[in-house]
Structure 1
Amino acid sequence: MNDGENYWNAFRSHKRSATDGPTLSPWMITALQATKLLLFAMCNIVLTLGSVFSKLIVLIMATNILPRTHLIGKFSRKCSKAIVRRTSTTTAGIYLSLMLIQCFPDTINLIRSSLEMYKGRCGRLIRSVVILESLRATGLAILSFHVFPQLDLARCLVLSACFPLVAVLQRSLIAMMSAARNGRSFKNRLGRCFIAIPHVLMFLILMSSCYVWTLFDGKFTATIALPIGVICTSIGFWESWIDTTHAGTSYDELYRLKYAVRKMNNTTNAVVSLMRISCTVSVMVRNRRVLRRAWIPRKSSF
């Protein structure tokens, strides 16, 4: 099968084996390829817009948990005397909605994995995935229930861009270690140092987001929760910093899962879902008590 007609090409729109029947004309193959490209682009656009829309919904609900007592926007300056009507039912509904958004998919996954395990389809537990997914759920819950309520929507969007913190740190360390490696000329080391500068600057900019809000806003009280939430979330998004260099290392299982060399088994799926639900509910209950103690004296501003 070395000729052009019988050679298997995944990007061609014909069957793998050669047949004696009528073949597609070139314009039909081109039309099929264009259709596949159009469907691929449309699916990606729909998924991207859906992800952005769902993220905005979460941020809007999270930023409306607490009363807006110190807004700085143009509208708030003109309508600063407007009374915000907020009841405990509204706040409880926002909390419940945020909890369902984070826990409902995990609940469905837990039920499905438990049914598969009941049928005997189990597997070895991958502890690294359980730990990292628990960190991700904890970080997202801290940000959603404790940090985002004290920020406006614009600053929440800026803070969400700081999630690839560990990936940027990893690239910075790799670039600096490559520049310090023995056996390289001075010119080569100097060039690699200049290459590492953008990664280091990006890491410092992302790290500064963990305390810059305290400097700009004296009423911001999540000084400790913000860096904890950002760091836990960044570590938990292990897909952003696991790459091919982790093959054969202690992160080999994560590498295999990311690049679809290995499929996550039902046991790991069930434990991950259970841990994510537990972490989210625990952080929500804990932060609800903290916020109530911190904002009860300001109840008159509702």
Structure 2
Amino acid sequence: MKKLVIATRGSKLALWQSEHIKAVLEEQNPGLEVSLKIVVTSGDKILDVPLAKIGGKGLFLKEIEETMLKGEAQLAVHSLKDVPTQMPDGLLLAAITEREDDRDAMLSEKYASVDALPEGAVVGTSSLRRRMQILSLRPDLTIKDLRGNVDTRIRKLKEGDYDAIILASAGINRLGLLDSVEYVYPIALGDMVPAMGQGALGIEAVDDPEVLEIARGLEDTNTRIETTIERDFVDTLQGGCQVPIGVNATVLENGQVLTQAIVGLPDGTEVLAESVEVPKDAVDNLGRKMAETFIEQGARELLARAEEMAFK
């Protein structure tokens, strides 16, 4: 194979991710020419409605997947947290890259940490998961919806629409934005459990042996273990991207795997949370088993109520 096309959104972060993977692939496969094809998705066009109301993160994938299925591109690079747990026929999650920082981060021009926010401070996020966890830490805060790409969100913060906003640390690091805001405060995993797959890139590929072989060079074993647990957890709960679910697995230096999960109502008044540590060779089906424990404790009913709250 001499040429490969990556389908990508046109946002700054999507382009950074695709350019990064293009550079790695060309280095790993001398003589391979990789080009990018920019696709405008429905998620990029609809900016005035909260994501949860219009179908969640899958909106950023549909047109990209159609481009691949039509044969106009062979690969796509996604933030793994945006990739649904079920893939369409003909496409595979061919590789998962080494994880960046998987934490959420609070950005503010005035306040150095979540604790430093004054009572009633306005915090911007469009994520029900982040809303749930920030309100269970600080019920006195005011949460306001926040849409748009990373630059737009930071601009709205700087214009004073929000006292603080919450974004994924990985995106801020990848775009080199640490200096663009006075305070960037990574939130400890114990205080805010990230979304499944947060910080990792998922490489979606057409089901073609040659393409899959090339994509395999991008795989990171530990990140695959972590994100498989996370994706299985969400898949078993049947929680789409628009319900408040946090789940994070970490392969520790001692060979153990620590998994933390949380589900609850968007207003933070009710949550179920659990953390489990097992040896690396005992992770088979861990995500599913944890989800089943949550289901026994009423997680599905809780998520159904969460969805009702979100759509009001």
TM range (shorter): under 0.3
Q: Which has the higher helix share?
A: 1
Bigger Rg over Cα: 1
- Pick 1 or 2: higher relative contact order, CA cutoff 8 A, min separation 6: 1
Q: Which has the higher strand share?
A: 2
Query: TM-score, normalised to structure 1's length?
Result: 0.24
Query: TM-score, normalised to structure 2's length?
Result: 0.23
